[in-house]
Structure 1
Amino acid sequence: MHELFEFPADGGGLRRAFANFPSGVVAVCAEIDGTPHGLAVSTFVPVSLDPPLVSFCVQNSSSTWPKLAAAGHLGLSLLGTDQQDAARSLGARNGDRFRGTELHRGTGEAIFIDGASAWIEGVPKAQVPAGDHAVVILRIHRIATRADVDPLVFHGSRFRRLRAEAS
């Protein structure tokens, strides 16, 4: 018999439960008035193949999202296993979020982090209020992937690597 731990369905209990669900780490970035802006999200979901849509969630308290929301194009970089420092910097409230990070330009304001496992460029189509977050739906216009870069995974409140099972 496995031991079961019950927690209240409040923010702390939900945080503990969600820590049991692994997710990728995605940098959402754009250049606004010549300055790069970005944040890290771990709530990224493919939504539709036709039309091609993805979604991600941002906290209502984010001071970065209002700047990014004004961009015509956003660059999403699905971070790779060697990009833990970039994920930490993009998740910080202060400091240079792009310190030691090489960027490349996309269409319009979209910028991307070099070395990611995939890049998605798109246009924000909708923003839906959802409690203390907003769900952003993005229409994809361009996408690129790298088969040689494994994704960075966030699980149990820390970064991890995927390990393939022996075949």
Structure 2
Amino acid sequence: MQTVSVTKDLRAPIGRLWDLLLDVERFADYMSDVEWIKVLDVRDDVRTAEWSVILRGSILRWSEKGRVDPSRHRIDFEQLDGDLSVFQGEWLLTDLGGGLTRASLRIEFEIGIPLMARMLDPIARESLRTNTSRMLEELEQRACAPEE
């Protein structure tokens, strides 16, 4: 299994960033790599959603179950169905004080084509790292923009 982890200190309060993370259907409004997200169901702390993102010029689609933990500002997710064999990970926000928040996004994945893994894994890993970094940057920009 391959892992991509990106952590950035964002100049935005944790409450604002958390609210944005919970409003995933609006990601496409301000995240350039997100084509669309549709929340299918929310029950207690579990959210089921379908995602479509642009990854290195290709469309990657999946449905996922996310466990939302507001007390820890954490969302753990795992793919239910989709283009990859495995796609799971977590969003985590940590309040650093003074309006600064550490945001982490970790993704574990398997492409699911064993004979091609040696060639495709490094490309997918770098593409996901770029995509993940951009998502965190765009999340910070949105958090700092005037609220609509």
Between 1 and 2, higher relative CO (CA 8 Å, sep ≥ 6) is seen in: 2
Higher share in strand: 2
TM-score (norm 1): 0.23
Larger Rg: 1
Task: Give the number of the structure whose residues are more often helix, by fraction.
Answer: 2
The alignment's TM-score, normalised by the length of structure 2, stands at 0.25
